[in-house]
Structure 1
Amino acid sequence: MTVVRCPTCDRPVEWTEAFPWRPFCSERCKLIDLGAWAAEKHAIPGEVAETDDGLQRGREGDDE
């Protein structure tokens, strides 16, 4: 059996049907992580994107 750590609280989680929110230990931890993505606390690194108005958008503080 494979066991992983919950990305939110670090509890061990069995990678089985018994844990429907895997890799999270609970729905609460899953929603905490989703909220962090929505609040832009997590980001996938990449190139700066150019918007339709011709401005470049990137990290916080670069939008002017």
Structure 2
Amino acid sequence: MTHPANDTPMEVNCPHCGQKVAWAPESTYRPFCSKRCQLIDFGAWAEESHRIAGEPAMDEADLDTLLAQADKDAPLS
């Protein structure tokens, strides 16, 4: 990705440390500035420090209730 006015690659900030990174094929770890920053971020996802917000998971009691209701609502063959 380049700036429209010239052929210099666009720069982004490393999500971990904030250092400028050229958005170009030669920036191996983009959007990260280094393998270290990339691995730190990966570790945060693996430890579930980073997560995507969503609906809370159902517990077993809620799931059992939902399945029982589905059984009641299902037409008999």
User: How many aligned positions are there?
Assistant: 54
What is the 5 A alignment of 1:30-49?
Answer: 30-49=38-57
Larger helix fraction of residues: 2
Residue identity (%): 48
TM-score by length of 2: 0.63
TM-score by length of 1: 0.74
Q: Say which one has the larger Rg.
A: 2
Answering whether residue 23 of structure 2 is matched by residue 15 of structure 1, we say yes
Q: Tell me the amino acid that sits aligned with residue 54 of structure 2.
A: G
Q: Hey, which bits of structure 1, 4+ residues long, moved more than 4 A?
A: none
Q: Tell me the amino acid that sits aligned with residue 20 of structure 1.
A: T
> Over aligned residue pairs, what C-alpha RMSD do you find?
1.6
The runs of 5 or more residues in structure 1 that have no matched partner are: 57-64
The runs of 5 or more residues in structure 2 that have no matched partner are: 1-8, 63-77
